[in-house]
Structure 1
Amino acid sequence: MLSRRRRYIVFCLLWLSAIVLLKLLKSSPKDEPLDVSRGHASQIVLTERKATGLPKETGNDRMPIRVDSENEHAPEKLKSKMLRDEIEGLAERSKNVKVSIPSDKSKSVEKLNSQTKDKIRREVVDFNKISDVKSERKALGVKKQTQQENELKRRFPHIIMIGVGKTGTRAVYEMIQMHPAIRGPLKEIRYFDRNFNLGIEWYMGMMPQTYTWQETIEKSPGYIRSRDTPVRLLAAMRQFNRTRVRLVLVVRDPFTRAVSEYLEWKWLRMRTKVTLLPFDKLVLDKNGEVDINCPPINTSIYIYHLNYWLKYFSIKDFCFVSGEMIVADPYSEMQQLEQCLGLRSYLSKDNFVYVPQRGFYCLRNHGRSWCMNKSKGRKHPEVEKSVENKLRAFYAPYNKKLYEITGRDFGWT
């Protein structure tokens, strides 16, 4: 009897030791550089998304690369019956969701865990707190309104900045909100691509309270690459009886933007055990050609992503902003954006203050001045001239198509 008991104890100890050993092996970091092969970039992204607490992307969040020369112009109406059925199906299902917009913003984040809640609600500049509503309304020529018209309410966005990341979207977002008729959430919501499962009630709860003479703006730079976002957005527009939403797309020299995204990856790498390859090796495949599936390279093919959106929206719904001009002359660029959005001219040169130490403009409004985060404007690493030339030659035909469809030459060489 004693020997059986001893054998049982030894068996249990060995079993527990094996479990502990397996857990240690699974959690051990891998410091080896990732091989430059097909799919290595996606592997880096998945690791870094996990480290930063971002939700797992669906298969539709990453688009396969195939740049077509067809469909360069958007149809005025959706012609595909399958597409209309898909949108109507989403709209029909959304009717079953009761949309009640909470008066207190804290109620709208009950479904979120504390980490996500803190990330979204961390304040940068709350324009509603620093603005003088009466003087701004007078400056815009808004007539005296009734009590009902003057009621604060959360509204479905009139303007959405859909991208592109690492082009200056945050700067444009804060600049346009110096206009008293534009208000938006303090942080990126990313509802239509990453947080769609939280529901439309949560999304509307994230919107700021605005007056009838104001318009709501939302910024989520990842929308431009999401296959699901256009269809989901159209379904939501039908649900809220919105016939039009204006889309803002900020673009920048594609080579410079790709390097900037790489720097973002390096920053994320500091929080992980992933060893990132040098930019020169990361963007080229085994044959020394441009790796079109590498996310920094992929995202900079603006015309490809724009053509996909033009299957659902008209080119007239878009406003294009130059990331280079936001750095060099933000006032003139924001004037063009005001005009494109149909806003009354309001911003002046006094709203933009050049700071030589930082090399770009800071903002000033209502006696308050602020600059972009220190992470903006990082110094770019040196890239081999042969690799830079190869990338610029790769982007050249796509840039030309973008110039043609937007009617604007952004001057990239």
Structure 2
Amino acid sequence: MGSYSIYPASSTTAVKLAHAIISKSKNTVLNMDIKSAFRSSKATKVKSTYTENASAIIRKELERRDRRADMLAATTCNCTQSGKPYMGNKTQTDFYTGEVKNDGEKQCMKKQFPKAILIGLTKGGTSALMTFLKFHPMIALRAYDPKDTKYFNHYYTKRPLDWYRNIMPCSYLHQITISKSTEYFFTPGVAERIRHFDPSMKILLMVREPIARALSQFVMWKYQAKYRIGDTSFEDAVTTGINKEIDEYSALISGSNYQRHMKAWLDNFSFNQILILDSLNFVQNPAEELNKLEDFVGVERFFTEDKFVYNATKHKYCFSPHDGSINCMGSNKGIPHPVIEKELRVELEEFFRPRNKMFFKMINRSFDWGY
């Protein structure tokens, strides 16, 4: 079975904002069923009626994002860094400061196409990964809003390739640019578009235990007002029908059904072009997973265990370079998850177990997800 999106075929942002449906009669936000707004691309329409007010909200959000992206594309690079001319060769020598040998050669920054793309997962740990990677002196990242480029799923038919390059960060020739769009993994057609753009592209994917990922996405919906899911329970979000069967077309479930989406990427890229990172190991041993990424994209190792400190409150590691600063994720990260009823967990494990095995077979690797 081919890959399909966890959102309807219409605009991804528009679908997400479907939860902000405004009642014409009462002008209040309705608590609508999550699954009715988040279905596969096989669905012919979202099973909700958009009001004129809701459509206006959607258009405003899309226009804001487009304006921001166009502003970024219009920025230019120069030959200075922190107000001083950048002098040096292409060989990195001091990984504490990011400085290079000064051989008197002046280098200017420019915008470069990415050599690697982080394609997912949503709620898989990609924000933390990018937060740490931005400190690597040999890697250039889009570390500003909007962090996800969305070019190959949203702007592909709207903006030229020069525009795509121009929304990348300014970087030096010796640096590698990495971009991120977590919607790419499950969006049909994106893998093929990226292959046509650059057949040598390196693909990065961070995977997480499926139930934990789905629960994390549900918590995100709860804490982010734009999703407007109200009092909907996790059980209602992932089940369907009178018998409460697991709904494979729920966004939460489909987004964790990795084998369904992985085929498109294996069809378009050789296996040695794809790096699959372990989200759980990244949480427990961030330097180890980051070292794998460094080796994969071809940069010298910068991350070491002594650069990370444990935050006991969030149960997460923070990055602490040797300048004494401590860099942690924002307050919206590490939010506690609700407890799943035992019966529901058993049903979810039974649903994902065979699908996980299919995914493991596809990637010739397995993860210890506990079931």
Q: Which amino acid aligns with 1:31?
A: L
Per-residue CA deviation, residues 222-269 of structure 1 (Å, 9 max, x unaligned), is: 1101113122222322xxxxx51111100001000001111111223x
**Counterpart in the other structure of 1:224:** 185
Which of 337, 354, 357 is 2:313 aligned to? 357
Shift of 1:358: 2.1
Give the aligned partner of residue 38 of structure 2.
41
In the other structure, the counterpart of 1:374 is 331
1:203 pairs with 2:160? no
1:113 aligns with 2:67: yes
Identity %: 25
Task: Letter of the 1:282 partner, please give it.
Answer: A
Partner letter of residue 27 of structure 2? S
3-state SS of 1:201 partner: helix
Bigger helix fraction: 1
Q: Residues of 2 paired with 1:411 and 1:217: CA distance?
A: 28
Give the equivalent residue in structure 2 for 1:151: 108
2:360 match? 403
Tell me the CA shift for residue 379 of structure 1. 0.7
Q: How does 1:237-256 map to 2 (within 5 A)?
A: 237=198, 243-256=199-212
Taking the TM superposition and a 5 Å limit, the aligned residue runs for 1:183-202 are 183-186=140-143, 187-196=147-156, 197-202=158-163
Deviations 1:288-322 (A, max 9, x none): 21101101100101121111111111111111111
For the residue of structure 2 that corresponds to 1:370, the secondary structure is: coil
Count how many residue pairs are aligned between Structure 1 and Structure 2.
Answer: 321
Q: What is the match of residue 138 of structure 1?
A: 93
8 Å Cα contact 1:33/1:276 also seen in 2: no
Correspondences of 1:234-273 after superposition (within 5 Å): 234-237=195-198, 243-268=199-224, 270-271=225-226
Instruction: Give the whole-Å Cα distance in 2 for the aligned partners of 1:222 and 1:384.
Output: 29
CA distance in 2, matches of 1:329, 1:306: 25
Distance 1:271 1:233, change over 3 A: closer
CA change 1:142–1:406 in 2 (3 A) is: farther
SS of corresponding position for 1:218: strand
The CA distance in 2 between the partners of 1:129 and 1:162, in whole Å, is: 31
Partners in 2 of 1:153 and 1:253 — Cα distance?
39
Alignment of 1:24-173 (within 5 A): 25=24, 28-29=27-28, 31=30, 33-34=32-33, 39-42=36-39, 43=46, 54-55=61-62, 112-113=66-67, 137-139=92-94, 147=105, 150-173=107-130
Considering Cα pairs closer than 8 Å and 6+ residues apart, tell me whether 1 or 2 has the greater RCO. 1
Whether 2:194 is the aligned partner of 1:233: answer: yes
Q: Is the 8 A contact 1:51 1:271 kept in 2?
A: no
Partner residue of 2:343 out of 368, 376, 386: 386
Q: CA, structure 1 residues 209+32, in 2 after alignment: closer, same or farther (shift >3 Å)?
A: closer
Q: Which amino acid aligns with 1:277?
A: T
Q: 1:268-283, aligned counterparts within 5 Å?
A: 268=224, 270-271=225-226, 274-283=229-238
Q: Contact 1:30–1:274 at 8 Å: present in 2 too?
A: no
* 1:317 counterpart = 2:316: no
Q: Does 1:335 align with 2:295?
A: no
Read off the aligned partner of 2:326 and give its amino acid letter. S
* C-alpha deviation, 1:182, in angstroms: 0.9
Letter paired with 2:139:
I
Q: 1:207 to 1:262 in 2, by over 3 A?
A: same
Measured after TM superposition, the shift of residue 174 of structure 1 is 2.3
Q: What are the Cα deviations for residues 95-123 of structure 1, in whole angstroms up to 9, with x where unaligned?
A: xxxxxxxxxxxxxx9x9425x678999xx
Deviation at 1:203, TM superposition (A): 1.6
**Mapped partners of 1:295, 1:398: distance in 2:** 16
- Structure 2 residue aligned with 1:288: 244
Deviation at 1:178, TM superposition (A): 2.6
Greater displacement, 24-33 / 287-296 = 24-33
CA–CA distance in structure 1, aligned partners of residues 297 and 49 of structure 2: 36
Q: Secondary structure at the match of 2:236?
A: helix
Residues 50 and 218 of structure 1, relative CA distance in 2, 3 Å threshold: farther
Distance 1:184 1:260 in 2: 25
Q: Which amino acid aligns with 1:192?
A: F
SS in 2 for 1:293: coil
Given that 1:55 and 1:194 are in contact with CA atoms closer than 8 Å, whether structure 2 keeps it comes out as no
Contact 1:44 1:274 in 2 (8 A): no
Which ranges in structure 2 are unaligned for 5 or more consecutive residues?
A: 1-21, 40-45, 75-80
* 1:213 and 2:213 matched: no
> How many angstroms does 1:209 deviate by?
2.0
Query: Is the 8 Å Cα contact of residues 249 and 321 (structure 1) preserved in structure 2?
Result: yes
| 2:9 paired residue number | none
Q: Which amino acid aligns with 1:191?
A: Y
